[in-house]
Structure 1
Amino acid sequence: MPELPSNTALNAVSDPIDPRPSASPPLSPTSRAVRPAGAKASRVAAASLVGTTIEYYDFAVYGTASALVLGPAFFPSDNATVSSLAAFLTFAAAFLARPLGVVLFGTVGDRIGRRRALVVSLMLMGVATVGVGLLPTYETAGLLAPVLLVTLRLLQGVSMGGEWGGAVLLAAEHAPPGRRALYASVPNAGPSLGFLLSTAVILPTLNLAGRDAFTDWAWRIPFLLSTVLVVVGLWVRTTISESPVFASTPDRTPRALAGTPAAGSRFPLGTLLARHPGRLFLGIGAALGGSAVYYLTIVYSLSYGPKELGIDRNTMLIAASVGSAAGVALTLPAARLADRIGRRPVMLTGAVGSVLWAVPMYASLSSGDVWAITGAYTVGLMLLALMFSPVAAFLPELFPARLRYTGASAAFILANTFGGGFAPLVATWLNSHWESPLVLGFYTGGLCLLSLLCLLALPETRDHEFDV
């Protein structure tokens, strides 16, 4: 596949995948954004990480709660599988709402500003998460309880639709030359850190309150603690500057700086589908397998292991937590390597490894041994880091500046929706027909193979000029 040009604007040349050129002219050398100092770029990356960690903490708290208590609390049934399916269905509902968040926040981010979109998305997530912590259960409110739960879960999904793309994009567009993947990968560690933070709250709460008290009322504590985290996150995000690349894009200066929508691309998603459909769909496929690995390990297996295989809940939480920590530790080194040798070599290595390791990883569940499961999950989530660390720069680099928020968000969020959001539901159905954890490996390995093929079809983007 041909590589993206390094010295011309992406939107002024033919797309290697979608050959129709964009109508937007290239920026002149004098209009290119002036890169901020490294210290300022680091602050922006750190602020993006804080916000993304909080958003994914909220999301992970719900995912863990759906595996542990939300089924019986909001969808009581004599059949435990039915309750679990109902709880995981609400988990998947948020993923159905994510595309709406892509449209909403992508439009705001591409027309008004990256930072404004991120502040609003964090506020929405905080309101929804705290609301879940205050909800009455089915025993108290009847059918109203699950209706309210689904409503708040949908709001969480809308919020997440705009979070990832905006956070990594703001960090990447502030990054010094040659370090784009590194800076973009900082907020990309947010999902794993959010899960670790949720576990650090849920596990002590579960142990201190006891299983019965946790199921009865203490499950609300992690949700309500989100109030403090969101306040901190909002304060951090309102102190950072807007993207210099966004501010220098044609049609946006000085309107963007004044907060006024600019002319052109009134509906960025429509423009994206018309001009760059090939990159969008291949970008979705490239992130599909990693999404399945992430959500099956940190959401589904927390329920599947204890309920179907008799594995202690703490064993599953420890395995997922240690694996996530290993993935976080590898995130920055993998991104730095991607800045040196290219995005595709690192991501392809992770994809090949994930295809080969998927079956052994989930086969470890049959042992029930904490060391075997933790070791298998650690390897699997480190391979995931190789796939997902460079993707924070890779997906934005596929699209021109005026469509970049929408393009990166749509590719990643739709991959999360199809590869991750429905993974617990699909896995529950598969295990109801084939009672073996090996089926999880074949399912995950198949999606990782699809990601591998999509990565092979996409070009290298490391040398692409990002200012346009």
Structure 2
Amino acid sequence: MTIDTTKATRKTPVDASMRRKIIVASTVGTTIEFYDFYVYATAAVAVFPVLFFPKNEDPTVALLQSFATFGLAFLARPLGSLIFGHFGDRIGRKATLVGSLLTMGIATFLIAFIPPYTQVGIVAPALLALMRFCQGLGLGGEWSGAALLATETAQKGKRAWAAMWPQLGAPFGFLLANGFFLILVTLTGYTKGDVEGAFMTWGWRIPFAMSAILVIVGLVIRLKLEETPVFQKAVDNGKRANIPLFEVFKTSMKPMVIGTFVMLSCYTLFYLVTTWVLSFGIGSKDLGKGLGIPYIDFLKLQLISIFAFIAGIPLAGQLADRRGRKRTLTGISFIMILFGFGFDFFLNPDHASETSVLLFLTIGMFIMGMIFGPMSAVLPELFTTNVRYTGSGISYNVSSILGAAVAPFIATALAQKFGVASVGWYLIAVSLITLVAVRLMKESRDFDLNEI
């Protein structure tokens, strides 16, 4: 679809000052959203299996139950992309981003006040599941809006660089969430198996309650933004879709499928090197459930490795602008396949150490930054302006079901039955699927978003 810009109302070009505001707004917003999301992920391993599910002789069952509620958010995310995508393509990027932030923030805040299973029985996991579902709705609408805010206001030739800023919200949010938990675990003297101490009684609730402060900060910043000129031109020319969902399925089915599988390995890798490996790392070595690393020590390892994630994102943004999207993602996919062969070397309980685990986490996080960095440019570039929010959101969030939602489940089952090497083979298989999708997509580095 080509937009006739001669009919558009002339708008003041986005200047350097406005771009800086957009960078801050998109990065802060995604940081808050991902903080909320990761606070839950961290608690899903150490807190929720103990407090919100009935006692079971096999602790693995409780862990899998906790992972099930964890995965609910990924089922909700495509729905969130449909709801917020509709409004994002109809009324604009700015207003929709405010709504997604509120949805996520309120749900996270309320988790802090859910009573444990011993007090209210089945109501506890039911409320937990409901709030997790609402988290998924909010994040389902957040990423696309932040990505479009950056890409639709970027300088020519620097779109991947501009788009990588909201991607930094993922490691920043992870750093905040896990850092907060590490401080609380240290101050409350928590040790694994402690179910009556300060941390399990009230300490874990503080990071969820603190979400309210972060949301207020994010709202103040976002309310000061203006609409993107690319979307405004589409509005001025009467090019908005009446029902973006129908339009995107009518005109953009192939890009949605390709975009979904381009994101697949990215999601799988991240939740293997964060959520699954945390449960495996602190699992009992004597019972064959993991490596037996103390929870507080493992959090420290994760916090160190997250800086490799941060380093990979801007590097990938630069490469995607210089070498193109396809060449960059192809190279990273091959590196990810090689990494899959190393799971047994780094994590085999017979010889693994905290040093080998730190190497595993650092390499995995760096690769994650490299594959994740260009995505906020790649996915929006697949779609026309009038369905860009909806289409990129659907691809991003359907991929979250196929990749992230099931990854901790599959990895836990594989490790228990076939050993840790099988988890690496799982990553290899997923990476090959992504590699095929990358080779099928069009190179979009030089696309003009005003003309598609």
TM-score w.r.t. length of structure 2: 0.93
Quote the Cα distance in structure 2 between the aligned partners of 1:328 and 1:349: 19
Tell me whether 1:331 sits opposite 2:313 in the alignment.
yes
1:265 alignment partner in structure 2:
241
Report how far residue 466 of structure 1 moved. 1.1
Q: How far did 1:26 drift?
A: 4.3
Q: How far did 1:181 drift?
A: 0.6
Do the aligned partners of 1:272 and 1:403 also contact (CA within 8 Å) in 2? Answer: yes
Q: Which residue is 2:105 aligned to?
A: 126
Gap runs ≥5 in structure 2: 284-288
Secondary structure at the counterpart of residue 242 of structure 2: coil
Shift of 1:217: 2.1
Q: Which amino acid aligns with 1:456?
A: R
1:298 is displaced (CA, Å) by: 1.2
Greater CA drift, 422-431 or 240-249:
422-431
Residue 74 of structure 1 deviates from its aligned partner by 0.5
- Note the alpha carbon deviations across 1:101-134, whole angstroms, 9 max, x for none: 0110000100001011110111111110011011
Distance 1:246 1:228 in 2: 31
Q: Which residue of 1 aligns with 2:406?
A: 422
Compared with structure 1, are the counterparts of its residues 362 and 406 closer, same or farther at alpha carbon in structure 2 (3 Å cutoff)? farther
Distance 1:241 1:344, change over 3 A: same
Question: Which one of 190, 196, 199 corresponds to residue 214 of structure 1?
Answer: 199
Q: Cα deviation per residue 1:200-225 (whole Å; 9 max; x = unaligned)?
A: 10001011112232223211111111
Moved more, 84-93 or 304-313: 304-313
Aligned mates of 2:136, 2:219 — CA distance in 1: 19
The structural deviation recorded for 1:177 is 1.1
Matches within 5 A, 1:172-183: 172-183=151-162
> Whole-Å Cα distance in 1 between the matches of residues 88 and 450 of structure 2?
16
CA distance in 1, matches of 2:43, 2:98: 26
Matches within 5 A, 1:413-452: 413-434=397-418, 436-452=419-435
CA gap of 1:34–1:390, structure 2 versus 1, over 3 A, is farther
How far apart in 1 are the matches of 2:13 and 2:353? 51
Identical pairs, percent: 35
Q: Deviations over 1:112-170 (max 9, x none)?
A: 01011110111111110011011101011111111111111111011011011110110
CA gap 1:30/1:116 in 2 versus in 1, 3 angstroms:
closer
Structure 1 runs not aligned, ≥5 long = 1-10, 13-24, 255-261
Q: RMSD across aligned C-alpha pairs, in angstroms?
A: 1.7
Q: Which residue of the partner structure matches residue 306 of structure 1? A: 282
How far residue 31 of structure 1 moved from its aligned partner, in angstroms, is 6.0
Q: Deviations over 1:4-49 (max 9, x none)?
A: xxxxxxx24xxxxxxxxxxxx5444866865311221121021111
Quick one: distance in 2 between partners of 1:466 and 1:443? Answer: 36
For 1:58-457, list aligned pairs within 5 A: 58-78=36-56, 79-211=58-190, 212=194, 213-249=198-234, 252-253=235-236, 265-307=241-283, 308-309=289-290, 310-361=292-343, 363-366=345-348, 367-434=351-418, 436-457=419-440
- Letter of the 2:79 partner, please give it: L
CA distance in 2, matches of 1:127, 1:453: 39
Aligned counterparts of 2:83 and 2:430: Cα–Cα separation in 1:
28
Write out per-residue CA displacement over residues 226-259 of structure 1, whole angstroms, 9 at most, x where no aligned residue.
Answer: 111111111111111111111111xx239xxxxx
Give the distance between the partners of 1:368 and 1:224, measured in 2 at CA. Answer: 37
- One-letter code aligned to 1:305: G
CA distance in 2, matches of 1:33, 1:402: 18
Q: Would the alpha carbon gap of residues 292 and 30 (structure 1) be closer, same or farther in structure 2, given more than 3 Å must change?
A: same
State which drifts further: 103-112 or 41-50: 41-50
Query: Helix, strand or coil for the counterpart of 1:467?
Result: helix
- SS of residue matched to 1:386: helix
Q: Kindly indicate whether the alpha-carbon contact (under 8 Å) linking 2:28 and 2:218 is maintained by their aligned counterparts in 1.
A: yes
Q: C-alpha offsets along residues 356-413 of structure 1, whole Å, 9 cap, x if unaligned?
A: 1123146412243222211222122212222111111011011000011111111111
The aligned amino acid for 2:156 is: P
* Matched positions, count: 436
Aligned CA distance change for structure 1 residues 264 and 37 (closer, same or farther; 3 Å): closer
Distance 1:333 1:280 in 2: 26
